[in-house]
Chain A
Amino acid sequence: MSAELTDIDSDSEAVKFALGCIWAAFVIAGQGDLDDLPGQGRPLQNITEGWRRNPRTIGLTCGLSSVALGIAYLTVAGAPFRYIVVNFFAAVIGVGCLVATNKGANRSRRMTPGIFFGLASFLLGATIFGVAADGASRWLRVGSMTLQPSLILVPAMVVAFSQRRSVIATVSIILVACALALQPDRAMAGVLAGGMSFLAVKVRDRLATAAAGFSMASFGVALYRPDSLPAVPYVDRILFTAFDLSLAAGCAVVVGAGLLMLPGLLMRTADHEALNAYRIHALVWLAIVAAATIGSYPTPLVGYGGSAIVGYFLSLALLPTPLASAAFAGSAATNTKEEHREDNPPIDSVRGRLVAVCVGAFGIRTNHRLATRGS
């Protein structure tokens, strides 16, 4: 499809063709009868067969499509060029993290308790020592860029927690809930509360219930505290303002936002643990988009903002592969002693971390250079 796209001279025809191809990709993913076909020697079916079985591949397609649609909207809306560059390089960083952690098809995605606690502490530290504006303290300044750590980390932590729960992980989620209440960030507190509540209903264990309880309390506190931040152009409320530009721009933004939920919704498996992770992924991003619709919160991937882009690909990296999950169907997610290390090394393998850090550092460096050049 992409080869055909390069041969279309008319821009409007190319956009129409591309949107149709995105739809075609999802229809192909849903065609169940492809399971019966031999994939050998049929490159088109090999690609679609592999695409259907790997949530990260579906997510990569959705995420990159959303970023592309967002860049198209920013261009039409007349956003500063560096906004487009930042989104582009955030996608590069996000995809780099996804590729670095995608080692083989038989690896479930699990975050160790140590990493859980470290990330939660980092988020709490960012809340206390980070950048504040109009009574909200949600950001970190890295060079000339401002990041929102909760958008990067919370979706990934919720997806990881849905697969592996321990006392330390639960304490970490509670710390995250406290951070979000302190900031306050109603959107991400709502995302955390929604994800944890869904999980508590599905798995019905004490740790998930405790996490859900604290998350709901945090959401209540965040709602109670005043949040009067105005909408930022090209970032907040663009699901509405895009339609002021044109119907096509509005549709591009809506479609781009809608694509984010598809990886979690399209995946099907008999393994309940994996299915919970997929559905929670969809729920988390639905909640983030819903918050962007209701209030002045960043519209993920289609608006200006690298944090949500990196956060999306990071949350994808933690989704389990159905084959790996089916092999461990029935294993207790809360049993921390049964580590299937031979086939499922934890995500924090040294090589994966080094690659992710190198890609991230390169991306941040390039981003910083381009951002300062543009200002």
Chain B
Amino acid sequence: MARDRSLSLHAWTLLEFLAEMSGEWGYGYEIIRFSGLQSGTLYPLLIRLEAKGLLQAKWQPPISPGRPPRHAYRLTAAGRALVRNNEAAQRRSPRRLDPVPV
């Protein structure tokens, strides 16, 4: 299957990062810290990808009293399938060989 060209590079970065989390829930700032995406880019992306059915979101209870609950995200089955298909498509793409020196 060909790569979904409607998704931006940032969207793919996010999807691939969440795929590496192997089904664990990820928080916004955690994603920002380890994926390199900025908050201004991330949150609109999360909404858009959730709308497409590639992510699911859930309010998580606070880890300590007095803290507000946080929104956490992880890939849906469709999101995981999309990332797997993209990786497979990239492996099948022909590589450009370096010219052999003479």
A residues near B, CB below 8 A? 1-4, 6-8, 16-17, 19-24, 27-28, 31, 33-34, 37, 42-45, 48
Contacts and interface: CB of A to CB of B under 8 A. Distances in A.
Contacts of B51: 33-34, 37, 45
A22 B28 CA distance: 15
Contacts of A6: 67-68
Given A17-B32, A44-B57, A24 B42 contact: yes
Interface of B: 27-29, 32, 38-44, 46-48, 50-51, 57, 59, 62, 67-71
8 contacts: A1-B28, A3-B69, A4-B70, A21-B40, A22-B40, A24-B42, A33-B48, A42-B50
Given A3-B68, A6-B68, A17-B29, A43 B42 contact: no
Nearest to A30: B44
Nearest to B51: A37
Contacts of B44: 24, 27-28, 31
A4 to B, nearest CB: 4
| 4 A-B pairs closest in CB distance | A20-B39, A23-B40, A20-B40, A24-B43
Task: Label chain A's interface by main secondary structure.
Answer: helix
A34 to B, nearest CB: 7
A44 B47 contact: yes
B47 A21 contact: no
Given A4-B28, A7-B29, A34-B51, A27 B40 contact: yes
A141 to B, nearest CB: 41
Contacts of B71: 3, 44
B30 to A, nearest CB: 9
Contacts of B50: 42, 44-45
A293 B57 CA distance: 44
